[in-house]
A and B are shown apart, each in its own frame.
Chain A
Amino acid sequence: MIAGNISAFVLHRKPYRETGHWVSLFTYEFGRVAAIYRPSRKKSGPLLSPFQAFVIELHGEGELKTLRQLDDVQSPILLSGTAQYAGFYLNELLYRLLPLYEPHEHLFQAYADLLSRLQVPGALEARLREFEGLLLSELGLGLELWPEGAETHTFASYAFDVQEGRVIFFGEHPQPSRAPGVIEGLDPALLKAAARHDWSVAGALAVAKVLHRARIDYVLEGKPLKSRNLLKQYLELGRVEKKSTPGR
């Protein structure tokens, strides 16, 4: 197989032998791809860097391809601060959740758009939640935070079944025993707002975060996302700094 003019982003890379790289790519045409890249010793090419759009050429029949041509199509998206750690989070999500060689053109476009907007201040959390929702949905693991057209039952108790990825309600009396993998006591107004991405409703983002996280953790069989922890630690450091410099 020789395939050229492929749009790609680098999700992860590791050194391979003396001068090469093993690289995990997210491509428009093939979805996630693993390849070996050996840069030319004669001429300097672009750096194999995450958050940079490339046009590549892939060779090989097996699962592990050879990356031959690598051209950067735009200036690198220079992420800094929180956006940089959020970028790591997106890459880890894609790297760990996407199967190899399964195209997801819509998701690719959403990823490219999101990367270019990550550095723009504000709405980072909303963007991350929407991307998580899209990713899960593309993989057939989407969340139904509110059934379409469903009414709110005044006396019902709302919960989220993590395994099924959907909201359930118990009627007037909540079930006495706590089922594993069920998040109880949810506010229907927040669920509805989260389902239609109406982040102007206070608390909707927080609910979406809890439910998305539970669903992703379930899909990953509880194996932690290192980048999520890193982002959290970075934000905590920022809070410490704000506390120690009053008046800012």
Chain B
Amino acid sequence: MAELSPSIEHLIHCLRGLPGVGPKSAQRMALDLLERTPERAARLAEALQTALNKVQRCTQCQNLCESAVCELCADPCRDASQLCVVESPLDVMAIEQSGAFKGGYFVLKGRLSPLDGLGPDEIGLPRLAQRLDQGNVGELILATSSTVEGEATAEFIVQMAKPHGIAVSRLARGIPLGGELGLVDRHTLSHALNGRKAF
């Protein structure tokens, strides 16, 4: 097969860096965009450029938004003394969809993972420390993932919060709604038992 042009190769290379896109998928996407839907390719390029120009991190919570302060932080109806710490903007969307939380958020840029080169600075914990120093946070709700790295991130934040005397809680883990005990893995079940609540 003839070699692809350097520009196409470069496009494939860029697409391969996206989550869930392997070499074959990247090749298919690139050739489809260029060969069959060039107008879509132009729209995609424009959308990317516009998003790059406009999207920034909220100065309060680090969520992605198009103004200095995001809509959630600017909303006076939300309880800013409650701060829910999550790993990504997707987590904010998930919690918002639940409708169960009316406080503020702090969006980390991932979770502590030394082997991925992610330490406290890389995930934005110094900014969280500034928020805690301001003294208007009364409760921290740690909603980092239930992985070893998510736990390490939560523990680090607990340690950061201790000198401020802030109440800290962690999202409960256990049986999903509608789930049957026999289908739940034993680790989740042991968490559910350890975190049981009195009736």
Contacts and interface: CB of A to CB of B under 8 A. Distances in A.
Interface of A: 11-12, 14-15, 17-18, 44, 46-47, 49-51, 75-76, 79-81, 84-85, 87-89, 91-92, 95, 225-227, 229-230, 233-234, 237-238, 240-241, 244-245
Interface string B153-195: 0011001101100000000000000000001011100100000
Nearest to B159: A237
Interface residues of B, number: 27
B35 interface: no
Interface in B9-26: 19-22
17 contacts: A15-B20, A17-B20, A47-B185, A49-B147, A50-B148, A75-B186, A75-B190, A84-B152, A88-B115, A88-B152, A226-B115, A230-B120, A234-B155, A237-B156, A238-B159, A241-B163, A245-B162
A51 B148 contact: yes
A95 B22 CA distance: 24
B39 interface: no
A162 B21 CA distance: 44
B119 A76 contact: no
B76 interface: no
B159 A234 contact: yes
Nearest to A231: B114
B159 to A, nearest CB: 4
B139 interface: no
Nearest to B147: A49
A12 B159 contact: no
A88 B163 CA distance: 25
Given A44-B183, A49-B148, A238-B159, A92 B115 contact: yes
B115 A233 contact: no
Nearest to B185: A44
